[in-house]
Every structure is written in C-alpha cells, then in structure tokens.
Amino acid sequence: MSATTPSCPTAIRGPALTFTGDPFRDGLDKTMVHEPDAIVAMDHGRITHFGPADRVLPQLPAGTEIRDFGKDALISAGFIDTHVHFPQTPMMAAYGAQLLDWLNQYTFPAELKFADKEYARMVARAFLRENLRNGITTACVYCTVHPHSVDVLFEEAEKLGLRLAAGKAMMDRNAPEALSDTPQSSYDQSKALIAKWHGRGRLLYAITPRYAGSSSPEQLAMAGALWREHADCLMQTHIAETRQEVAWIKELFPDRRDYLDVYDHHGLCGQRAVFGHGIWLGEPELQRLHDCGAAISHCPTSNFFLGSGAFNLARALKAERPVRVGLGTDIGAGTSFSILATLGEAYKAAQLNQQSLSAGHAYYLATRGSARAMYLDDRIGSIAPGMEADLVVLDMRSTPLIDFRMDFARDFAEQLFIQMTLGDDRAVQATYVVGRLAHERGDGPAARVT
C-alpha cells in the first residue's frame, strides 16, 4: 500500500473480537464474532486470513512469522476516534468553564500558539503517540485555522502509515483576530490542502467549518461550495452541544428552522458529514440526519467534562430512522485518549437516559460503527480478509485490580465490560498500523516524542 508497507507475511494469535454487521440493528447474536483462539495474518498492509487458529494455520504461507499474545489478550480492529482536536492536547483538563467560556478562556489561546509551525509539529507528534498508545488507528481531526497545522499532522501521520482524516478549521467571526480567516481565504486554503493531501496514501481531507458560532453565513456557503466540488471529502463540524449554544445559534441565524438547518441550508448535510455532539437535536433534525446519511459523533467524556449533557444514544439510533453514530474523544474538552475509558463514559451517558449500553454494542461503536460513520467501513473497523491491517491487542489483565476482578467474570460479555469500566491505556499491549507494529506497551518505538 505504501513504500514502507511490510511485504512479508506476518500473523498474530490470540482471542479476537470483531463485527460483521450492526448489532444495534441486527443484534449481537448475528453480528458479533468472538473467536477464543484466532489467527490474524497480514501481508502488504492488508489482512489476508482471519479465523480459528486450527483452521487458518495450515493455510498460511511457509515462513509466516506468528506472534502469540496468549489467552489473556484480545485482538480487535484498531479503535477509531471520530471527533478530536489535536491542537487541544496541551490544554486538556482546563478548569471551571462551560463550552462558550471554555472556548474563549482556554481553547482559542491554546490554538493561537499554532502560528509557530514547529510547535504545531511537536504537538502533532505527541497527539499521534497518544493515539497509538491507546490503540487508535484512525481519527477525524480538527486542526487550527493555520494551514500548516494540517501539513504537520498529515506529514507525521504519513510517516506512520496512518489512515487519518483532518482539516483546517474555518472560522471568520467570534474568535480572536489572529485565529480568524475570511470566507475566501478559508475556501482557498482548504482547497489547496485538499489538492495536496486528500487521497494521498491513506490520508483524507475533512472540510472543517468549526461551528455555526464561529462561521458567517458567507463562510458556511463557501464551505458548502467546496464540499460540492470535492464530494468525496469528509465534512466535520459541531452541532447542538449545549443548550446555551443552541439558543445563541438561533439568535445568529433567525431565519433557519433549527441548528441543523443552518448547515443544511448551506449545503453541509450529507454522506461523510460528521457532526460532533448533537445532544440537543430535535426529532426533525434526527430525521434529516438519517435521510441525508450524515453521522453524529458521540463524545461522552467531553460532554460530562463541560457539563453539556448526556447524549441519548438509543434515540439517535431509533429503528425507524437510525442515524449513523460514531465515538469521539473530543480532546481537549474530552478527558481521555483511552477509548476504553470513553466507552465507560458512554455507558454512564446511557444510564442517565435510563438505557444501557452492552459491552458488545460499545466495542462496535468504537470500531466498525465509527468506520461506518466516516464511510470507511469497507476498509477499516473490522477484521476480515481484504481489510486494511490496523489492529489493537488488548491485555485483559492490565492492572492488579482488573486481574483480580477478571477471576470473577462469568462470561466474555462481562470480561469486556470490565475493560471498558476499569481499563485505560495500560490495557493496550500493541497497536498495528497497516500491518506493522507501531506501538508496543512500555518502551515501544512510539512511546517517546522525539
């Protein structure tokens, strides 16, 4: 797949979990595959074989190196983060404010520092290191308003062979002067970045009008025009994150029916759109998201941290008009790069809505479900021959407490649920990107930012 893709067959062995379909629609029985002793073989960056070890072993080419992770491991498709701000890595855990004040007090000052390209590169490297340490092999990433913030992220991602989507934030109002572009400059800069990066290797461009609060109608119209010209790009923005924000957007766009209509009116609703949060969407908006094939990114740690609310997952997935939903860390309002921790908070968000989120459904959300939200489920998000070889290997006994607790687990579902409730980055033993070991817990090659 790329010049650096290994061309000799390798394989890993251990228990494995993947999905062949959508458990929210068709049930776990029909869609979840748990193989207690599996082989996943890879060559030229793709999965070549997957199945029970006794069946796959005789099929492997002579000389295939097999690494056995043992019975306490779990091999999964790499995790996918559908909403994250890499420039906010240095300001995670900013105290004491809700969304609109948090943006002004902490976020914009942090993003101003990205005028310095080498600072931006240093943060991009730390961000990608954390992704790999947490088993995240694909993310949909917001950069800052500075085009070079996109360049450095893509340059660093390309070195690692990552499949990554990202885009320059378009913002022309309600932000500091030095973080503001114009409708025309944001269009021109984004278009140049698309020409440079979209479809180069595994990289994808996401057109990124930050949100309706920081884009004029003219800028949203330019973003819509750009997306029409480059319809195979993703489009990402924020929607209905807090009630205060929803009320403010109504004031800014008095002629629009609702928050989604602000985007829809400007041509920003369709397949490959990923809307962050969506906690306070109404029924007509959910129906429209379903109709146009757009996705919501559920960002529970962020929503709890900023006090934004508890996303109603079951409502978004209502059988008559299911909306595509992926999982997002939303760093730096989000409080963890750990997808396990994020799933633990997704469970609590469901609890606050008097629902429950089973571990099986949760792992689907973090893998195949998120791939589907980004229209990438034909390439990533599950383990099957032909899929790109992005994998995470979990250690199911990663801490003394988890080790102790696992002895009392009655079945696999409970074992999985323990991981998402008690686990974190320590549970990620190894991360494979495009068939190559990209991170190994401890002193692996990606453990340091140099």
Rank residues 212 and 391 by Cβ distance to Zn ion and give the closer one.
212
Rank residues 31 and 312 by Cβ distance to ligand GUN and give the closer one.
312
* Residue 241 contact among ligand GUN, Zn ion, none, beta carbon within 5 to 8 Å by kind: ligand GUN
Q: Any long-range contacts for 181-187 (C-beta under 8 Å, 24+ apart)?
A: 181/145, 182/219, 183/216, 183/218, 183/219, 183/221, 183/222, 184/222, 186/145, 186/219, 186/222, 186/223, 187/222, 187/223, 187/225, 187/226
Token digits of residue 138: 């694909």
Rank residues 43 and 111 by Cβ distance to ligand GUN and give the closer one.
111
Rank residues 152 and 306 by Cβ distance to ligand GUN and give the closer one.
306
What is the pairing mode between strands 65-68 and 136-142? unpaired
Phi-psi region of 27 (alpha: psi -120 to 50; beta: other; left: phi over 0): left
* Size of site (CB under 5 A) for Zn ion: 2
**Residue 153 binds ligand GUN (CB under 6 A):** no
**Residue 215 binds ligand GUN (CB under 6 A):** no
**Residue 85 binds ligand GUN (CB under 6 A):** yes
**Residue 330 binds Zn ion (CB under 5 A):** yes
Binding-residue pattern over the window 261 to 300 for Zn ion, x denoting contact by CB under 5 A: ---------------x------------------------
CB of 274 to Zn ion, least distance (A): 10
The stretch among 99-107, 182-190, 201-209, 399-407 that binds ligand GUN (CB under 6 A) is 99-107
Rank residues 174 and 415 by Cβ distance to ligand GUN and give the closer one.
174
Binding positions for ligand GUN, 323-382, rule CB under 6 A: 330, 333
Phi-psi region of 275 (alpha: psi -120 to 50; beta: other; left: phi over 0): beta
Rank residues 103 and 193 by Cβ distance to ligand GUN and give the closer one.
103
Asked if residue 85 lies in contact with residue 330, where contact means CB atoms within 8 angstroms, the answer is yes
**What would the DSSP string read from start to end of 317-378?**
T-TTSPPEEEE---TTTS--S-HHHHHHHHHHHHHHTT----HHHHHHIIIIIHHHHTT-TT
Which one among 79, 211, 311, 337 touches ligand GUN, defined by CB under 6 A? Answer: 211
Binding-residue pattern over the window 234 to 263 for ligand GUN, x denoting contact by CB under 6 A: ----x--x----------------------
**What would the DSSP string read from start to end of 207-252?**
EEE--GGGS-HHHHHHHHHHHHHTTTSEEEEEES-SHHHHHHHHHH
Binding site residues, ligand GUN, CB under 6 A: 85, 99, 103, 107, 210-211, 238, 241, 302, 330, 333
